[in-house]
Structure 1
């Protein structure tokens, strides 16, 4: 396929975490979730908690179980606040529905559309091949090159789609080296892990890289009036990604596995051949690249533009939507009246993720509005004398290991309200605990079920789970230290 042709796919690049097809397991989760909600309606609330907060706790527990066990598709569970909030007296339908149209949701939608445009015109593959040529073709350099390429693409394209795109390239490289008879035993494992980990680490590098980031920004803006823009997020997200990538590269290339540093000329020639097949950049690719670069630049300089022209109401969401509309206006082929993006491509947009945002924000708003967040914070007053650094470390540790078995977005949605209230009760800005929690939610490295990239590479059949657990534990511990220290030092610069 030449780069001038749109990339076709059979469906959305998404990977759902599905439990085993066990009717008893499903039925147990359904009954327990509903029973918890009914319990809060039939039993008096705990001491110090009002009735509305108690009902909200039941809704939160039921949604948490439904999300964790996947009783319903995650997007359908996210619609429960629209049904139950009015019925339980927690909020009117208007108030419950408002978070589903939060500006940050449209910001993320714009990011998704940019990613789809890159995929459609095969731009992401061109970027990946170029990075691998620059990095080199020794085993150590290939692992590092694959990880960096995956991370850079994952900053703008969903981590699931990025992993699906990079995995076949990685398997092809592994097969070539194996046929030469020069492959180190640990190379295939290290390469697959570099793809999975690169996708997760790259995700928290930018504001639109992963759902927990957007959920955090919307929560802080909606509940506390704290605005974090694209450029502000780079202050903490980019260093966190770079440091974690460096640690991961050193572990996979030097300590976890003994890899060769010798250049592989067969692989280099294969990459060159693929680049020749891609051909020179088409007009469509150049146009998408220009829109992508201008959008990223606009996101970065927006704070300074707003200072210079204070009457201009320019937000990151506005920039994303301008880019989205532009992709539908500029033609890829004027004669065929084919545009850079079409509505057919939009069918691959992960609408379920956008609904999940809305459900998480709606639930978070009710947790705070009913006083449940304050009650939880008050119950944790034993932490009152804990230094901020220790409080951040505790939060990061809990979230990192919890998100190994739960949805990172659902975990973020459930923890942000009580963490915000807890931070205030400890005399801290709510962002000081909320930001590290959101970043930690993306650091799931140990288990295949933890995140779609892990599940996708594990599904190749070439990655024993014990290797993922071993390397994942190392990165989890490194993540606890890095996220804790960076957030302790840098959060004050972005709030």
Structure 2
């Protein structure tokens, strides 16, 4: 009862806090150097953050705020605000979710989960290590969004198989699901195509400073960083924060084999879904090559929606049965699509209002500091800023400003540009921070507080490793 009262009080506090702060910002004049639109955007950001953290209203409802507040306060026009809710990334989510639903409908995810877990140990920490390695490897070559969408049903299936109806293990559930989100974000750091800020950084250095970073050379930086972050994350999740080996139930390989036998032989529907799944994964992985050979303007969203269409269109037998029916679409977590749309809309307002430029200028004012301290500050600011803005927008806003600053203090832009680009992909606290966080949050087994408490330490760990490697390994490998 006391916990319920505590949660209720927190909800009331959050419900009132956001609007009150917004009202104060409306009344008070904007500080010097800050535009009225930027000032109001700060209020909207605080309002949304307070409602997201306290869950004062349903999470997707908070995502409606930009549609209401921004036009009424003349921060931006309704058309400019609403366009974020139809961002191609939203449809990438949707197509990925359809693929996930098809896997679940025909139990393909369970078969994959059992096959995967037969390759790992029976200890919960070993199971999590296995799922993290698979997720990170896929994310090196595919978008972290697509990777997470693929791995979520597998993770949920593992949870179902390792728990009984009488006893559930919330710490293990949370650790496993969070490990998928975090491994998807971390794995993308290993390659230039793994996450948009990496590609943006490489393009910026090449176009503005004629510095070309090859795919292979970047991996000499990205893979060690990925390994360190993966191990640190696994250690934090399984041995320190949740201590899953002490609390969770072991599940032997015999159990996995028995459950695999219960599924029987592979069905035609499973094969069809697996073929579409594999073709989709290959198309995501080799999209640049396919686009170059065919001359088609492919992107991840087109591939995802084509795959979703095939699931509804392709007959699987003479009775014209399909892999998915439209009623299956009700299982799509539409709330998380709204959640991410709200996050993208807020990120757009931060950029269009000039707030991103203002924040970047505050960093620019610190150019007299030692390089090591400047690196830590820049990495810290970007890691926490990208919790509420898109990583691509953050990188796009900061890199052009950090390049000249780095040149003035170290004669090369790479000293700050590379750590900043990496930091933009390391947001572990908020569901809106990255697509993997949002997708995992859609499972319904996590609260924002769970992600925030776990992710705070991982943010600090990421700041440490990015800063350290940015001052050492990156300089050695890239010769500056």
SS at match of 2:254: helix
Matching residue within 314, 318, 322 for 2:298:
314
User: How do residues 229-378 of structure 1 correspond to structure 2 at under 5 angstroms?
Assistant: 244-246=229-231, 267-310=252-295, 312-335=296-319, 337-378=320-361
- C-alpha contact 2:100 2:153 (8 A) present in aligned 1: no
Matching residue within 2, 17, 40 for 1:32:
17
In 2, Cα distance between equivalents of 1:129 and 1:326: 26
SS at match of 1:47: coil
In 2, Cα distance between equivalents of 1:290 and 1:96: 38
Q: Deviations over 1:208-241 (max 9, x none)?
A: xxxxx99989x99xxxxx9xxxx99x97988766
User: How do residues 14-33 of structure 1 correspond to structure 2 at under 5 angstroms?
Assistant: 22-33=7-18
SS at match of 1:331: coil
In 1, Cα distance between equivalents of 2:346 and 2:429: 23
Cα displacement (A) at 1:330: 1.8
Q: Deviations over 1:296-324 (max 9, x none)?
A: 111122212333344x2222111111001
In 2, Cα distance between equivalents of 1:82 and 1:349: 23
Counterpart check, 1:413 vs 2:383: no
In 1, Cα distance between equivalents of 2:340 and 2:27: 30
Q: Deviations over 1:139-198 (max 9, x none)?
A: 8755644655677899343776554322232336xx9xxxxxxxxxxxx99976762453
Cα displacement (A) at 1:201: 3.0
Cα displacement (A) at 1:95: 1.2
> What residue number does 1:104 align with?
89
Number of aligned residue pairs = 422
In 2, Cα distance between equivalents of 1:143 and 1:356: 27
User: How do residues 200-211 of structure 1 correspond to structure 2 at under 5 angstroms?
Assistant: 200-204=181-185
Cα displacement (A) at 1:24: 3.8
> What residue number does 2:73 align with?
88
> What residue number does 1:425 align with?
401
Q: Deviations over 1:330-363 (max 9, x none)?
A: 234542x432112222112121121122212222
Instruction: Note the aligned Cα RMSD (angstroms).
Output: 4.9
In 2, Cα distance between equivalents of 1:53 and 1:440: 25
Cα displacement (A) at 1:59: 1.7
Task: Select between 63-72 and 287-296 the one with higher mean Cα deviation.
Answer: 63-72
Distance 1:143 1:73, change over 3 A: closer
Counterpart check, 1:157 vs 2:149: yes
Counterpart check, 1:49 vs 2:34: yes
Distance 1:155 1:68, change over 3 A: same
Distance 1:436 1:308, change over 3 A: same
Matching residue within 180, 189, 195 for 1:199:
180
* Unaligned 5+ runs, structure 2: 139-145, 189-193, 202-206, 208-214, 405-412, 431-436
> What residue number does 1:182 align with?
none
Question: Scaled by the length of structure 1, what TM-score is found?
Answer: 0.68
- C-alpha contact 1:116 1:157 (8 A) present in aligned 2: no
Cα displacement (A) at 1:378: 2.2
Matching residue within 441, 454, 472 for 2:427:
441
Question: Scaled by the length of structure 2, what TM-score is found?
Answer: 0.70
* Unaligned 5+ runs, structure 1: 1-17, 176-187, 208-212, 221-225, 404-408, 459-464
SS at match of 2:260: helix
Matching residue within 159, 171, 182 for 2:163:
171
Cα displacement (A) at 1:284: 0.8
SS at match of 2:95: helix
SS at match of 1:347: helix
